[in-house]
Amino acid sequence: MFHVRKVVPWALIVAVITGIYLIIQVFGPIKEEGLSNFQILLSIKAFLGLWLGIRGFNQKIFKINPFLFKGHIFPFVCVIIIIFISQIMYII
């Protein structure tokens, strides 16, 4: 458990930074009709990923504990939702 607490926050920060770069590359232009289904799902994934990233960054760098959702259940659910959205995006 000691090693997990050292590695996971840094891995999360790297994942968020690379995710931001990929969203910039993949999102594409917004058409007059509005967002496509792919862009909507990608936006939801980005929001959840950024929330997890900001939470992890605050904990690791600034030693700030979360003010809301202090347990591990909500972040775990966010990760599961991100995985399901990724699978749906693959199907679409």
**38-66: per-residue pLDDT in tens?**
889 989 988 988 888 888 777 777 877 77
Is residue 32 within 8 A of residue 82, CB to CB? The reply is no
Q: Tokens in use for 58?
A: 């605050």
Q: Within 13 Å and on the Cβ side, how many CA atoms surround 12?
A: 23
Of 62, 59, 61, the C-alpha closest to 72 is 59
State residue 67's pLDDT score.
Answer: 67
Of 63, 64, 66, 62, the C-alpha closest to 78 is 66
State residue 84's pLDDT score.
Answer: 93
